[in-house]
Amino acid sequence: MSNTKNFGLGRVLGRVVVVLVCSGAMFVAACAKKTSDPPRRPPAPVTVAKVLRKTVPVRINAIGNVEAYSTINVKSQIGGQLVKVHFREGQDVKKGDLLFTIDPRPYEAQVKQAEAALAKDTAQMEYAHEEARRYEELVKKGYAAKDQYDQFRANAAALDATVKADKASLDNAKLQLTYCYIYSPITGRTGALLSNEGNLIKANADTAMVTIQQVQPIYVDFSVPEQYLPLIKKYMAGGKLKVQASPDQKGGTVENGLLTFVDNSVDASTGTIKLKGTFENRDRRLWPGQFINVALTLTQQPNAIIVPASAVNTGQDGEYVFVVKDDHTVEQHPVKVDRTFGDESIIEKGLDAGETVVTDGQLRLGPGAKVVIKNPAEGATK
């Protein structure tokens, strides 16, 4: 009886072993199939652009500082009480506009005093000349001594000098009176008002009453490495060089000017040469003291190979781009970038005009990867 039970149990265990062996074989087969036939990755979505050939400017980029075309510190040439300010802080003024009035009454009195002195001495001079003329006639007739005539003539000459001195004093008094009225010497914009009505003004004080800056036109100062100096001198010989200034950090707004100044020496401490561009600044986008991006255009480079700067990637072996082929797979092309300006890169070698390059989505790509183009109108067709 026990043998029969053992035999039955053995048959059951045998069947279990067979099932387990078959299940294991099926699992191994499935794993082997999965390993040999991996699932395909879906095409990576990318944006693309065509490689272009066009003429581009050869530029030197720098950081510049805006400087007023001229800066005037307005001071008084006389002392007195400030009785009137004829402008507001930050107001635009024209050349010849009245800015300040200093109490003119003391200087008007000096003018009247000088006029009175001149009138008095003029009358005495005329009398002395008349006396000298009469004694000249008496001397000729022998009725008077010559030394008396000489005395009257000397008195008349002395009064001539006195009258000339009085005229000079009167002119000076009138000049001092004109200094009571301070006019703008330039067309520009006023700064902060440093002297208010009622203040006692000193002649030629250390502190200006107001500062006026001319902002139309305006200068932009910038410096470039000294190795560019031969190129700048070379292209300056052919005419004025264009300078572009962008007060917008994103490069949206551009002001155009001309290079008008090259310093006469290189700064030995920095190895740079100072340059200056002049801008009309009609819309007043440039403001004194402002730091801006500057681009000095030397010449034009024809037939340059251009791609968006975003298409260029940097790897262990250098710079490269992904080129989209007709079957919508990509190839990795090593390239040499000549320079980058704005959002474009000039390719020295590695690409030809008409090729399609990936500008966005490169992180999911590798050589031979399949792509789907999100902007076919700007790149290759699907």
pLDDT tens profile 231-273? 999 999 988 999 999 887 665 688 999 999 999 999 999 999 9
**Which pLDDT score is estimated for 150?**
78
List of domains in the chain: 45-54+303-373 (2.40.420.20), 60-68+214-302 (2.40.30.170), 76-96+187-207 (no CATH), 105-178 (1.10.287)
Distance CA 353, CA 222 (A): 35
Quick one: average pLDDT of 66-90? 95
The torsion region of residue 314 among left (phi > 0), alpha (psi -120 to 50) and beta comes to beta
In the chain, pLDDT over 70 holds for what percent of residues?
86
Name the residue with tokens 């470039």. 224
The torsion region of residue 158 among left (phi > 0), alpha (psi -120 to 50) and beta comes to alpha
Residue 380: CB atoms within 10 A of its CB come to 19
Distance CA 272, CA 227 (A): 8
What Cα–Cα distance (Å) separates residue 297 from each residue in 60, 204, 243, 271, 301? 7, 45, 6, 21, 11
252-256, 353-357, 369-373: segment of lowest average pLDDT: 252-256
Residue 224: CB atoms within 10 A of its CB come to 19
Residue 188 confidence (pLDDT) above 70: yes
pTM for the model: 0.69
- Name the pLDDT band for 128 (thresholds 50, 70, 90): confident
pLDDT tens readout for residues 16-60: 444 433 444 454 444 444 455 555 678 889 999 999 999 988 889
Structure tokens at 22: 């078959």
Query: Exposed, middle or buried by CB within 10 Å (0-12, 13-18, 19+), for 228?
Result: middle
Distance CA 91, CA 211 (A): 11
Residue 313 confidence (pLDDT) above 50: yes
Q: Which residues contact 191 (CB under 8 A, 6 or more apart)?
A: 89, 90, 210, 211, 212, 213
Helix, coil or strand: residue 259: strand
**Which pLDDT score is estimated for 43?**
86
The candidate with the shortest Cα–Cα distance to 79, out of 217, 176, 191, is 176
Distance CA 382, CA 379 (A): 9
Tell me which amino acid residue 34 is: K
For 311, the enclosing helix (H) or strand (E) is: none
